């Protein structure tokens, strides 16, 4: 008997040993055995995805205090530590072999040194705790898009969350070919007090892309611990780079057009910028809200939702603006809330939920009351700005039937959007594919939100809404996008949207529901059924087309004054943006494709010519 089998036999009960060996892949056995040796758990639980096993994970999460039951028996609440309520970008590090470099924009360290830190921090980290081993699949099962993943964790909350978010893969692993590429995830919450990680100063996420492995330590926040989410995205981007496809931080939805037509769009928005709410716009159907894989198949761009659930920001979810999510969160569909307020009647509240301010409750700080302050004298809100909900898509009334289609869906358009107060108009179409990739995708900027640690409201460079997760040199990543459609017979149009444009008094000049109209216009443009005005930065809508769409879909009288305010081309701001983007690429990205600078310079020339002829702020009618 080899060492792996000895370790497994000693650590596993007979039942768990049999469940693991039912998966014949020896690499799986080795990974589990190595994790046991390193983390030294008290017990090991192998989940086979049966109803009994998955319910055991949920019940144990409650019994251990990782989740708190609510009056609704299908709902629970999880609290992260006071300092552990968002993705920790600074402590997320790529382990780079000697001689490799991912570019200056990514945090990285020598691989050997990083693995030493992993060994030190994870050694004995599961002492007196139970290890959970789970098997999942990214993308539909038995698909050209499928990526198998092993998740090991000592957090039953993490294991339960993944049960709602991902496709269970135990049986898939049992028939997996020996040479199939697998992603490996190992997480430990570390030392706990009241079920909360206490060593947050030693929090870390280490990505060893050479072995397709991710190690997460001393943290519980889902963005740092649920390996199949953004952690696996980093590995998928490298896999896509090798194989000629794209792994993207994108929603996938069907916009419903005239005569029952459905056109599928992907959309990349940084967290907190309207990504999920766009994918949930009334009258359309959702395939996924966060991650997508895109491939060229039979000459067409096709895509799948990597996940089967939503880990969404709950702040500002209201019955009026988000009726589908609201209804699900008040139904008997399973849901995990995180970092919200538990009320005295065992309900939940979150910021800007449309109700009166609560008088008391329990939140991440313990018993909460109005005016409660932290140790620095700062008032503690009743819920965190980055409070979340975790649900499965199967409970949504607007779920598109294509979710599990192994061939994915044909992409009819691609959207890029960020939090931009003074530059982009609400919606525009690129001049062509390369123009969209460069001036919309690669030039995306956005103000920071509570989804990541650090100050909010700071304008940041955020290309493709994916900078935090890109695991190859950025220039190569851009070139991959430029090259992606070279073998496609049908190239989808690229659009840019901006829901956060403000006036001189810092007031938003579009309404939350206006995105309904922007989507309908893009759907018509994708089929060439409405015209557009050519501007120096792209094609924008005609007023009469938007007026009709507002009337039909929002029953709203859209005025020409609103149109002029929203679609005025702000030349100085656009020129400043080009300068910022050029400076960023020339100073920090060594392998930037020359085409980027050429297209930005061409856009500058068009803007300068328009400015010379028409001024700084140009009404859309001036371009007709």
DSSP character at residue 143: S
Catalytic site residue from 47, 273, 552, 617? 273
Give φ, ψ of 573 to 5 degrees.
-65, -40
305: burial class by Cβ within 10 Å (0-12, 13-18, 19+)? buried
Q: Is residue 307 within 8 Å of 254, Cβ to Cβ?
A: no
**Spatial distance between the Cα atoms of 14 and 44, rounded to a whole number of angstroms:** 11
- Helices and strands (DSSP H and E) totals, the chain: 18, 35
DSSP character at residue 99: T
Q: Is residue 175 within 8 Å of 24, Cβ to Cβ?
A: no
Instruction: Enter the tokens of residue 437.
Output: 């990739």
Task: Output the CA angle 189-191-193, nearest 5 degrees.
Answer: 105
**Spatial distance between the Cα atoms of 161 and 155, rounded to a whole number of angstroms:** 10
Residue 46, H or E segment: strand 43-46
Tell me if residue 607 falls in helix, strand or coil.
helix
609: burial class by Cβ within 10 Å (0-12, 13-18, 19+)? exposed
**Spatial distance between the Cα atoms of 422 and 419, rounded to a whole number of angstroms:** 10
Among the listed residues 148, 125, 171, 132, the one whose alpha carbon sits nearest the alpha carbon of residue 32: 132
**Spatial distance between the Cα atoms of 341 and 439, rounded to a whole number of angstroms:** 41
Alpha-carbon Rg of the chain, whole angstroms? 24
Instruction: Output the furthest CA–CA distance in the chain (Å, rounded).
Output: 82
Catalytic annotation on 552?
Answer: no
Q: How many residues does the chain have?
A: 624
Residue 578, H or E segment: helix 571-588
Conformation bin of residue 608: beta by default, left when phi > 0, alpha when psi is -120 to 50: alpha
**Spatial distance between the Cα atoms of 255 and 409, rounded to a whole number of angstroms:** 13
Give φ, ψ of 596 to 5 degrees.
-60, -50
- β-pairing verdict for 300-305 and 292-297: antiparallel
Residue recorded with tokens 């030693």: 202
E strand spans, 218-284? 246-248, 251-256, 262-268
374: burial class by Cβ within 10 Å (0-12, 13-18, 19+)? exposed
**Spatial distance between the Cα atoms of 29 and 547, rounded to a whole number of angstroms:** 61
Which positions are catalytic? 273
């Amino acid at each position: 008997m080899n060492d792996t089998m000895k370790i497994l036999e000693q650590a596993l009960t007979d039942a768990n040993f049999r469940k693991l060996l039912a998966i014949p892949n020896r690499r799986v056995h080795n990974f589990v055995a190595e994790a046991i040796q390193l983390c030294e758990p008290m017990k090991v639980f192998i989940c086979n995805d049966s109803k009994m096993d998955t319910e055991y994970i949920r019940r144990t999460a409650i019994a251990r205090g990782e989740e708190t039951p609510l009056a609704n028996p299908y709902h629970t609440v999880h609290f992260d530590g006071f300092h552990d309520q968002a993705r920790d970008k600074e402590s997320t590090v790529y382990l780079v072999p000697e001689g490799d470099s991912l570019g200056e924009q990514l945090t990285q360290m020598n691989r050997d040194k990083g693995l030493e830190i992993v060994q030190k921090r994870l050694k004995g980290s599961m002492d007196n705790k139970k290890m959970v081993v789970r098997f999942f699949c990214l993308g539909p099962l038995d698909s050209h898009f499928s990526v198998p993943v092993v998740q090991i964790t000592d957090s039953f909350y993490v294991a339960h969350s993944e049960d709602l978010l991902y496709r269970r893969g135990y049986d898939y692993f049992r028939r997996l070919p020996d040479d199939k590429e697998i992603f490996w995830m190992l997480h430990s919450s570390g030392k706990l007090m009241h079920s909360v990680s206490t060593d947050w100063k030693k929090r870390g996420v280490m990505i060893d892309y050479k072995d397709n492995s991710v190690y997460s330590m001393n943290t519980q926040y889902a963005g740092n611990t649920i390996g199949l989410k953004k952690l696996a995205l980093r590995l998928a981007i490298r896999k896509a780079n090798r194989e000629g496809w794209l792994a993207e931080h994108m929603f996938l939805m069907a916009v419903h057009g005239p005569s029952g037509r459905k056109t599928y769009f992907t959309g990349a928005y940084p967290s907190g910028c309207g990504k999920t709410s766009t994918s949930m716009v009334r009258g359309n159907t959702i395939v996924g809200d966060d991650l997508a894989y895109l491939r060229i198949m039979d000459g067409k761009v096709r895509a799948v939702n990597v996940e089967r659930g939503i880990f969404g920001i709950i702040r500002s979810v209201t019955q009026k603006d988000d009726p589908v999510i609201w209804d699900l969160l008040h139904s008997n569909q399973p849901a995990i809330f995180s970092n919200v307020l538990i009320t005295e009647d065992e309900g939940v509240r979150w910021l800007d939920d449309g109700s009166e301010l609560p008088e008391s409750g329990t939140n991440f700080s313990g018993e909460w009351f109005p005016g409660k302050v932290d140790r620095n004298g700062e008032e503690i809100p009743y819920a965190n700005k980055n409070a979340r909900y975790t649900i499965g898509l199967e409970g949504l009334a607007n779920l598109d039937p294509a979710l599990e289609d192994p061939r994915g869906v044909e992409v009819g358009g691609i959207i890029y959007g960020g939090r931009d107060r003074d530059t982009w108009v609400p919606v525009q179409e690129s001049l062509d594919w390369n123009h969209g990739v460069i001036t919309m995708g690669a030039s995306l900027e956005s103000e920071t939100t509570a989804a990541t640690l650090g100050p909010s409201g700071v304008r940041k460079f955020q290309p493709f809404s994916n900078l935090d997760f890109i695991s190859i040199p950025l220039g190569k990543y851009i070139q991959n996008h430029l090259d992606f459609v070279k073998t496609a017979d049908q190239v989808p149009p690229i659009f840019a949207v901006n829901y956060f444009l403000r006036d001189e008094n810092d007031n938003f000049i579009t309404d939350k529901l206006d995105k309904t109209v922007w989507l309908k216009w893009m759907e018509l443009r994708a089929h060439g059924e409405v015209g557009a005005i050519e501007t120096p930065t792209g094609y924008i809508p005609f007023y009469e087309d938007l007026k009709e769409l507002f009337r039909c879909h929002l029953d709203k009288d859209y005025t020409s004054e609103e149109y002029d305010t929203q679609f005025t081309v702000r030349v100085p701001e656009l020129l400043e943006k080009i300068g910022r983007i050029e400076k960023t690429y020339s100073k920090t990205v060594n392998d930037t494709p020359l085409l980027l600078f050429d297209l930005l310079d061409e856009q500058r020339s068009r803007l300068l010519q328009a400015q010379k002829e028409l001024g700084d702020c140009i009404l859309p009618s001036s371009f007709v």
